[in-house]
Amino acid sequence: MNFSKHTTNKKLRSLNSNHKKVTTLIGTSFVRILVFAVVLVAVGGIAAGIGIANAIFDSAPEVDFESMIPEGYTSFIKDQNGNVLRELSIGDANRIYVEIDQIPQHVQDAFIVIEDERFYEHNGIDMRGIFRAIFVNFQSGDLSEGASTLTQQVIKNNVLSTEKSFERKIQEQYLAVQAEKALEKDEILELYLNTAALGRGTHGVQAAATRYFSKDVSELTVAEAAVIASITQRPTYYDPVINPENNRERQLIILQYLYNAEKITREELTYAVAEDVYGHIQVVNQEFEANSDYTYFVDEAIRRVRDDLKTKGYLANQATNLIYRGGLSIYITQDLEMQAVLDNAFANEDNFPTFEDDYNAYLQYSMSVSKNDGSIEHYYKDVVLPSDEDVEQEMANLKAEWVQEGETILSENHFVIPQPQAAMVVMDYYTGHVKAMVSGRGDKIGNNIFDRATQAKRQPGSTFKVLAAYLPAIDTMGFTLGDVYDDVPYTIDVPGSGPYTPNNWYNTKTSAYNFWGLSTIREGIQWSMNLLAIKTIADIGIDTGFDYLKRLGFTTLIEKEERNGQIFTDKVISLPLGGVTDGVTLIELTAAYGAIANGGVYTEPIFYTKVLNHDGSILLLKEPESHTVMKETTSFLLTNAMEDVVRSGTATPAKFDGMHIAGKTGTTSDSKDLAFIGYTPYYIAGIWMGHDQPEKMKHDKSYHKILWGNVMSELHVDLEDREFPMPEGIVRVSICTESGLRPVEGLCDNDPRGSTIRSEYFVQGTQPKDSCDVHISATVCETSGFFPTEFCPEEVLVDKVFIARREPLIPENWDPEDPPRIKDYEFEIPASMEGEFCPIHGHEELAPPIQLDEFGNPIIEEPTEGDPLSPEPIVELD
């Protein structure tokens, strides 16, 4: 097909003569006007006049029906320097268009009986079909489905947009009548049989015959023709590879229709019903997938070119023709050397959980066998097995079952897809260029398969803590990395959904502490602390967090949506923990962090930069969409905090020498998805690991971080280490990490755990001015560790530093069976004075020597009430 500017101009010119044709049409056929009026009334429910119909006809595009026959030039994938990386073709590009006399009669008939039984009688629209459809769709008043003649479908496939509007339907009918005037029935049928969408990216019967049966269309049997004709209305539902049962139902209907219409004999019907076509389809499918060698990257680049062509108004069929037969040059952003590093790392089994840790294998095995009785049998089986040895054994067993003595194997294919799976994408966050991508390990089966890096929607987990909570808090709400939240038992009452009690990842039965007490936002990022993120978003508002995510380029988040009567939304308090309705893609997650890496400017990830036509003119120019999401200072602070994640936090396995690295881990609470997004001053890379069918990971959850580090260290081997750039307006001041305020000498530096004074970065003006109010000093008896009484000797009295929370803990509310184990609780000043005084020193004459119990602790006798000698407490607090 010719999409050159010249043709467009020609089309535009002829559009002007449109009106005259309409007049002629209306003048010659009163009946036809009546028909359109009836349709308008029936569907729209309003009385529409000829004027409206006229306007709709006028806006219909003028069509050069002769130009629909596609041209045949090989297209090329090229790198940024114009070197050809590979050729694109579906079969033999030049011969895939077949003329009507090359298409067997039973193939033509199979489509006609199911799609348009009065094809040879009507003039483009089928009134009986329309009235039947109106009747069938009466309740919904929807005429957009069904009742389409083959002629209308030719218009739909080649001319009009796919939107289902009433106007488009009327235009389609009008143009169908025009097409019938311009072309012979056979020419229309030929166009239809060459352009109909037949699943798996195929358009036309020749492509489908090759894809499903590995033969020329002229060789298709009646049974095979019926399989292909079944696909057209719902290509996925009737996909004979993945939904053979659905396809079989429709295939039988077509065979029955063919017999009823006396297109085939009773013997042919019986033979066709008995033919084993679906086994053959599986075998051919495996052969096709084994022979397809487009990389994940090229697949994605083609998908994006196709999508962008559609955005520019091309139909799916036109876009596919153009890509594979238009002689295009597609310039992709891939760096082959970087790609090789990723490919090698993913091919190395040492980078993945071992068999003992976490492994199983998904086997797909197929075979065609020439049997001893002269028939040909096709076999296929897929099964999940615990080890590679089991795979070998299963294949041997199946082979023994399928092939008997003296029989010949005609073809044999197998794939092994190991689990857990992984995907990784490397991007230049300045330009948006995706440099390398691997979307799986083990066999890549087929072209344009479901992509784990760009299409799979998985849970982002803790990676959302930074994006949904801390980023917006710092960027708009004046939060700082030094702000302190208390990681203690916490329940928040959420309007509309009731109380919510978040849990920490370290809240396990065996952990020493299940709450870490007073912590800064920096520590919250470093250690991926759930409660800090939840408390932050509770303070800034869920809407604020959600809005930032949208601006960071996520397209799969749900604001509010009804599905099967249930309302879904991702605007929930737990949003920072990254459990969202549909999940997010790895590429979008990586690009979102790219905005932080890139000084706050989001840059859309792109896979190609331009597409040139056969004649060298520009068809598509890809400029990545780019916009500022956050202040440069915000991005600096977050990057600086995320350096701690890699240096000493949750991502230390990803660390490699000689480069500044920042990043954030993402683990879902159920451990079904593991992610790490990390970046250097040069590149950003995201990695995901998980099972294709989500299940809890059994391994220790560090493989993906190590793999990330291995790949990135190799990609940076010749690059000079440098710091992440610090923008203007950043100051560095000392704070106390218990209060987030200015440290007090003698207190904050004397915390019993060691000094809590740290140097922290602030946006000028947000640094604290007040002094620490959490640390306090009190005099205690060194012997007992409690407050002294009048009997404690002077020499054992010492000043000790405690923390005193602004919001005191309330141990009375704790479950006495399972009290929270709070890390800093022992450094808290005793909540209750009573009973916390030194019980060791007393009146010498009356106090017996201290007895020790079996653990070496003093055995204390309670003083009797009213005892005149019971010690009087003295308390000094600073």
Name the minimum Å distance from CB 706 to Zn ion.
38
Nearer to Zn ion, 471 or 778 (CB): 778
Name the minimum Å distance from CB 349 to Zn ion.
50
**Distance in angstroms (rounded) separating the CA atoms of residues 161 and 172:** 10
Nearer to Zn ion, 115 or 751 (CB): 751
Name the minimum Å distance from CB 524 to Zn ion.
18
**Distance in angstroms (rounded) separating the CA atoms of residues 504 and 513:** 10
CA count, 13 A, side-chain hemisphere, 848: 8
Nearer to Zn ion, 294 or 827 (CB): 827
**Distance in angstroms (rounded) separating the CA atoms of residues 583 and 588:** 11
Return the HEC string of 325-380: HECCEEEECCCHHHHHHHHHHHHCHHHCCCCCCCCEEEEEEEEEEECCCCCEEEEE
Name the minimum Å distance from CB 518 to Zn ion.
10
Nearer to Zn ion, 244 or 743 (CB): 743
The footprint of Zn ion (CB under 5 A) covers 736, 738-739, 748, 772, 775, 781, 783-784, 792, 838, 840-841
Peptide bond into 420 cis (omega under 30): yes
Residue 743 neighbours by CB under 8 Å, 6+ apart: 734, 735, 736, 749, 756, 757, 771, 772
Nearer to Zn ion, 378 or 841 (CB): 841
**Distance in angstroms (rounded) separating the CA atoms of residues 84 and 106:** 42
Look at residue 606 and give its three-state secondary structure: strand
Nearer to Zn ion, 150 or 792 (CB): 792
Name the minimum Å distance from CB 353 to Zn ion.
44
Nearer to Zn ion, 590 or 784 (CB): 784
Among 448, 387, 382, 456, which residue's Cα sits nearest to residue 421?
456
Instruction: Compute the CA torsion angle 393, 399, 405, 407 (nearest 10 deg).
Output: -160
Nearer to Zn ion, 580 or 757 (CB): 757
Element of type H or E holding 426: strand 421-427
Write b or e for each residue in 396-434: b if 16 or more Cβ atoms lie within 10 A of its Cβ, otherwise e. eebeeebbeeeeeeeebbbbbbbbbbbbbbbbbbbbbbb
Nearer to Zn ion, 606 or 838 (CB): 838
Name the minimum Å distance from CB 804 to Zn ion.
10
CA distances from residue 275 to 271, 301, 370, 780 in whole angstroms, order as listed: 6, 39, 15, 93
Residue 52 neighbours by CB under 8 Å, 6+ apart: 40
Nearer to Zn ion, 211 or 823 (CB): 823
Return the HEC string of 253-277: HHHHHHHHCCCCCHHHHHHHHHCCH
Q: Cα angle vertex 358, ends 355, 363, to 5°?
A: 70
Instruction: Compute the CA torsion angle 837, 839, 845, 846 (nearest 10 deg).
Output: 100
Nearer to Zn ion, 148 or 783 (CB): 783
Nearer to Zn ion, 498 or 835 (CB): 835
* Token pair belonging to 654: 């990803």
Name the minimum Å distance from CB 350 to Zn ion.
47
Name the minimum Å distance from CB 748 to Zn ion.
3
> Which residues on neighbouring strands pair with residue 376, listed in sequence order?
370
Nearer to Zn ion, 136 or 859 (CB): 859
Write b or e for each residue in 470-509: b if 16 or more Cβ atoms lie within 10 A of its Cβ, otherwise e. bbbbbbeeebbbbbbbbbbbbeeeeeeeeeeebebbbbee
Element of type H or E holding 318: helix 316-325
Name the minimum Å distance from CB 740 to Zn ion.
9
Name the minimum Å distance from CB 750 to Zn ion.
9
Name the minimum Å distance from CB 514 to Zn ion.
24
* Token pair belonging to 479: 């939060």
Element of type H or E holding 627: strand 626-628
Instruction: Compute the CA torsion angle 776, 779, 785, 789 (nearest 10 deg).
Output: -140
Element of type H or E holding 567: strand 566-568
Neighbours of 512 (CB within 10 A): 7
Nearer to Zn ion, 263 or 522 (CB): 522
* Token pair belonging to 436: 């390398």
Nearer to Zn ion, 440 or 839 (CB): 839
Nearer to Zn ion, 590 or 783 (CB): 783
Name the minimum Å distance from CB 488 to Zn ion.
18
Nearer to Zn ion, 347 or 877 (CB): 877
Name the minimum Å distance from CB 831 to Zn ion.
19
* Token pair belonging to 727: 């923008």
Name the minimum Å distance from CB 737 to Zn ion.
8
Residue type, 556: T
Name the minimum Å distance from CB 390 to Zn ion.
60
* Token pair belonging to 304: 């994006």
| DSSP state letter for 730 | E
Name the minimum Å distance from CB 784 to Zn ion.
5
CA count, 13 A, side-chain hemisphere, 114: 22
Name the minimum Å distance from CB 742 to Zn ion.
9
Nearer to Zn ion, 619 or 822 (CB): 822
Name the minimum Å distance from CB 523 to Zn ion.
15
Is 90 buried (19+), middle (13-18) or exposed (0-12) by CB count in 10 A? buried
Residue 788 neighbours by CB under 8 Å, 6+ apart: 779, 780, 781, 796, 797, 837, 838, 841, 873, 874
Element of type H or E holding 542: helix 542-551
